[in-house]
Chain A
Amino acid sequence: MLSSLNKYRHAFLIGLQSNLVYRWNFAVRGFFSLFHLTVVFILWGAAFAGAKNIGGFDFGQTLTYFVTLLVLQFFIGAFNEDYQISEEIRNGLINQFLLKPINYFAYRFSIYVAARLVSGALILLPLLIALPFLGSYLTYPHEWWRLALGLPAVVMSALIQFSIAYCFGMLTFWFLEIQGFVILSMAIEVLLGGQMFPLDLMPAGIFQIARFLPFFYQMYFPGAIFTGRIGLPMIYQGLAIQLCWVIALLALNQLLWVRGLRRHTAVGG
């Protein structure tokens, strides 16, 4: 059992090294995400000038939500995993995994965890620089149970993030070019994952529908737990729905892998 896990530990360590090579790319990306935060600050600051609170939250709480989501994005967001998987299928690099006693999903997930550790650590740097300015606005609730319930939600969010990216990567077995699908899904995820605006600001009916979609649990759900945007009953329900989505997506990943391999042709040597 341990020896079988050992190979994924090595995949994780290689992932860590190869992502450290691209540390400057992540650092630049992190730096530019401060520009995005500036847009959020200006836009919502102007919106709050005409309203004391929006959706029951003040400007500080709303800004805290966006900062939390930014951190989550760098720690659990699937950046280009779909594209990497797609390239491996398209270029035939995947063939080597078919001949080895290695689970492709576990291998890619190990690399994803390594990559997010690097990118997550690197977003903290620009945020530390911005902290003297942002610090006075950040207001987190003083309820420690939110941390206890939020952390498992983050782990499941990471699994959902990766699984959706993995599913899109698997589409390469059927479609030669998946970039269009990926960017379309990115737009859906940005909207229904709560990166554009807190989902609780949507009309109640649409919010209720969104709660049953996997995108809700990609980013918004853990972010809303940490920032106090949702209460305990909704958190318990949410954790149950999130777990269902994790299981469903893992099953879908396996199904696409098995069905995709039937269509796959390994050419050359």
Chain B
Amino acid sequence: MHHYLRIWLATARYSIVRTLMFRGDFFVWSVVELFWMTVNLLLISVIYGHTDSIAGWSKYEMVLLVGTSMLIQRFLMGFFWSSIFEMGRNIRTGYFDFYLAQPGNVMFMATTRKLDPDGLINAFVAGGVVIYAARQLGLHPGLGDIALYLSMVFSGLVVHYSILVLSISLAFWLTSAQGIEGSYFTLTEFSRLPKEAFKGVVTRILFVWLLPVVVISNAPARLLLTRYGFEWKWAGALFVFAALWFALAVFVFHRGLRRYASASS
């Protein structure tokens, strides 16, 4: 464990030094992410300019939900996105050989190689959105609630990470996983919707339970909302989903790794 922490700290240090070298790039990407978050909040603001409720959720409850979804996504972008995105390309080009020769678990080495400080900076903004919404709703969560909320956000991050690793691992079989990452972003759109909005049986089964993108954001947001509070069903579902999806990602990644044959040219 200590060994992996040291490796991770070394890669984090490398990423931060690299960011300091390309400060303009860091600034532009931070603004890009900030703007995309603003676009999502504006959508909420415009809809609530014309209606009082979306599936029983008030404006600031929705802001809390969207903020939670953004928080998980910013952590994913900050800690893992670049590494996992490059993994697909490296499998195709043969540069993946590099990870096989490194002193640690291949999945860990390949998916944690780069940190994106711009994503992490915007995680603070997403956190700010959650706090702002909580204050507007007059919520006063205790330390236990906050700890549970953060552990749920972490579990959501694990599910997102696992789904992304699983998708990109398809490159071991398909050679090219280009375009799959775009599809991932489409799926995250569902995580900004309240579960109550899913009326159809098919959409409910598909997006709430099979691909638990809705549970990931709804469970921590509901925990903070006084009208829901702590619900064993949601917390349990989220932790079980995180464990199952992570196990599946590890299994599929290592099965795929067996097929990896480097590049022919």
Contact = CB atoms under 8 A, between A and B. Distances in A.
A150 B36 CA distance: 30
A147 interface: no
A76 to B, nearest CB: 19
A239 B123 CA distance: 42
Interface in B35-74: 35-36, 39, 42-43, 46-47, 49-55
Interface in B155-201: 178-179, 182-183, 186-187, 189-190, 193-194, 196-199
B46 A197 contact: yes
Nearest to B57: A46
Contacts of B194: 46
Contacts of A35: 183, 186-187, 189-190
B263 interface: no
A55 B29 contact: no
Chain B interface extent, by class:
20 to 34
B49 A201 contact: yes
A187 B35 contact: yes
B25 interface: yes
B54 A188 contact: no
Interface in B188-223: 189-190, 193-194, 196-199, 203
Interface string A194-207: 00110001110000
A174 interface: no
Contacts of B198: 42
B197 A184 contact: no
Nearest to B197: A46
A190 B43 CA distance: 11
Nearest to A43: B193
Interface stretch (A24-32, A212-220, A255-263): A24-32
Nearest to A175: B24
B31 interface: yes
B237 to A, nearest CB: 20
B198 to A, nearest CB: 6
Given A42-B193, A196-B42, A201 B50 contact: yes
B259 to A, nearest CB: 22
B32 A47 contact: no
Given A54-B50, A191-B39, A191-B42, A184 B28 contact: yes
A51 B50 contact: yes
A203 B54 CA distance: 20
Nearest to A196: B43
Nearest to A53: B50
A196 to B, nearest CB: 5
B35 A51 contact: no
A181 interface: yes
A251 interface: no
Contact of B29 (A48, A51, A180): A180
A196 B40 CA distance: 8
Contacts of A183: 32
A177 interface: yes
Given A35-B186, A55-B50, A203-B49, A28 B32 contact: no
B32 A196 contact: no
A87 to B, nearest CB: 15
Given A47-B47, A49-B55, A51-B51, A181 B28 contact: yes
The 3 closest A-B pairs by CB, nearest first: A180-B28, A46-B197, A46-B55
Interface of B: 25, 28-29, 31-32, 35-36, 39, 42-43, 46-47, 49-55, 178-179, 182-183, 186-187, 189-190, 193-194, 196-199, 203
Interface of A: 25, 28-29, 32-33, 35-36, 38-39, 42-51, 54-55, 177, 180-181, 183-184, 187-188, 190-191, 196-197, 201-203
